[in-house]
Chain A
Amino acid sequence: MSNSIPNLLHGPVRVVNVGLAGFARDLAANGAAVVQVDWTPPAGGDPRLLAALATLGSSVDEANRVAMQKILAAEPVLADVRRAGELVAELDARRLLLHAGPPIEWARMCGPLKGAICGAIVFEGWAGDLASAEKLAAGGGVEFAPNHHFGAVGPMTGITTRSMPLLVVENRAFGNRAVCALNEGLGKVMRFGGNDAEVLARLAWLRDEFGLLLGKAIRNSGGIALNPLIARGLSMGDEMHQRNVACSSLLLRALAPSIARSAGDPASLAKAFEFMGSNDQFFLNVAMAMGKSMLDPARGIPGSTIVTTMSRNGTDFGIRVAALGDAWFTAPVEMPQGLYFSGFSAADANRDIGDSAILEAVGLGGFAMAAAPAVAGFVGAGGFADAVGYTRAMSEISAARNPKWAIPALEFAGTPTGIDVRRVVETGIAPAINTGIAHRMPGVGQVGAGVARAPLACFEKALLALADHAR
């Protein structure tokens, strides 16, 4: 071992000072290398949590190393767009509707989620109008399940039904894949609970024209490797959650020749380009499927305390952890803090919602805030120093850094990746999630953007379960 007693006595002494800051100042004044840890009682001093932390010692470190090796070895490739029912057979087999977040019954769902579900029921032709759709949903005529139970993710309400075209991201290092619906654009859209004729007509166009075209173009291109695309996007100011303008443009640039070759006529080609080119968040859904495809191989690794899923349904926030497979740990979801579009305020806001927190789980979004100073102001995080502060704080709860995804402003340090439940509970640092804010009434759409915190209670419950499991 390199840090032996003779090595220490040989010097120099390099100190982590945990507690009284005066000692660190004295050491620094003496020219010693020192970092200051501004200590607070771990786990808020809760003896049950402290006992659980003590149980989850060095054997967990090894399990987490294995998990992080898998996550960081991923080779995600945007491979296809196909109809949901073809990709998830259960969607064709029964009246199943997938939604964002952990499992939830109709009665507890928030307004936007209910609105989106009613729209989707009409879209699928299971009911003639929104009123009968609501009756059908409330009466148990449709089965609800989380996207995450079927290898899928979806932003905001995250509705996935059988006829929607889904992006397919393959993780070619492990042969698994994850899917996500196409981004509908801004304004009145189903992911914010929109369900009127305009919303449904756009969905029909995505289903009948654009999805088919995009799928063909991607297949013909041989697939788009996403690791390098993300790396370039980070150097261009994207963090892939709140800001995707660089990656959306890069993707369009990469696919444009293939789309042109696949399009039947100039008018439909122009419409496709117009749709992609006018939506700065087009890439968000690609990034989400990518995040899931990267994290899924870590699921089921015994002993690992790495978070594999973070997701919200507008009522509950839920996480899943590598060692505990399918178990959800949930707590009431929090209100995002942020800025509102003019005419709206916090009183209009819905609680935090969407599967998009998969991005933070894979080291993007709030974890990569330092790469995206433009976002920092928009999401209420303040200036560039605050953005760096977010990334630095998130590195305290992350098990590794992703060397493939460097942040230029941090001397090309990798994005902090792999949330360790133990570190979250111990430090009390809740993962910061860059998010859009939906109006609480269905169909109004996005009213702002900000930062939401993952509730600590999810991580505390997971920690206790992990410790029980380990004993």
Chain B
Amino acid sequence: MAATDNKRKRRAGAPQVPGNIVQGLAAATCSLLGTAASMPVAAEEEPQWDFDTALLYYGESDERVQDLSFNVLARRMFPDDKILSLGLGVDSLTGASPSGAIPQNEVQTFTRPSGDEVYPVAPGELPLDDTFLDTRYALTAGWQQPIGRLYTGSAGISFSTEYDYTHAGVNFGISRDFNKRNTTVSLGAAIARDQLDPVGGAPLPLAVMGDLGDLSNRGEDTEEKDVVDLLFGVTQVINERFLVQVNYSLSDSSGYLNDPYKILSVVDPTTGNAIARTPGPGMGPLHEYRFENRPDQRRKHSVFLQGKYFMDGKVLDMSWRYMTDDWGIDSHTLDATFRWPLGERSWLEPHLRLYTQTEADFYRASLPAGELPAYASADYRLAAFDAFTAGIKYGRRTSSDNELAIRLEYYRQDGDIPGDQLFGDHSSDVLYPGLDAIIVNLSYGFDL
């Protein structure tokens, strides 16, 4: 065991420093990169910059979403445990996503969000909207330093932009050690302001999808969304080989929380078929669809528990997260990785993640004609579903002490539409779009 320690010149004996809160909280604010929980220190002359790079391919089956991204995290330590982190990410997204409309036994026609084009969907096919060709850029910067002997403070900013969405946020964190550093209490906060400029303008709540060129039911202004995240955590060393962390987080979102491109099919409550309509003089939808509407507030509570256990060179990492919010969604996430050293330079890490969520109160597979609730969404991400991820990662330290790793994962979502949301001829349809995706992730870490 000890011999391995000394060979890991580049990464051994990392000084204990808390991570930038962007990493812990920012998923809700779409920021791509966060900074490290620990900083590598070389035995001899310390390298100036430490880089972690990653190339990611995410691909869903059936011509749905594909994402190719490149990320880099650069960290530089300054004397006495001060760390500067800079992160950059570039995402190129292509493909299509379910629009929320349900398959029908006849051809359906939809108007694109821009209003400039219509597209048909064959009978029996799941309607997909492919207005997602875009590149997203994300930037993060963070600073972390000790305050006195037992406190560590951090502050950071995050920024991301794509054609219809920008995000800007700041974050702060402080942690304090107790009991000879066996216990660490952490507090974090992140505030973000996001702006949306949906193509064609944000649709008015539950407005009917218009014909080609008709943008009368759209708003003019840029939409905004504010997110505040708070985190309280306790990390406890149990014994020489066992570490545990418990966190509670609160996330408050307010403003425009809709997905401006998602729609619901309006259906006949008896037959379950879409209500036909006659398009205007040009072209337009052959059936009635309404744009979704979600509440303009959302409060989420999460409890997170993680344990890391060392067993003779192998490390088991297990975590459980429970989330509940005021949209009626409850979720559980169980995540386990097992790192298995292969010789002195490489390792294998199988991974399993199990996820389940209940549906939002206002989730509807479709809207029965005549019903017009205040809030409704057919976005499958707000539906009840189970998901699992199974993967394996192989890592290796190169002869120049840099790190190479490759990760392969399979992600699958399976859902069920509750019986009371299925009508007539469609009650036996498998309406939940489901998801099948593979993830390929190459990473390379080096010092300069």
Query: Do A and B actually bind?
Result: no
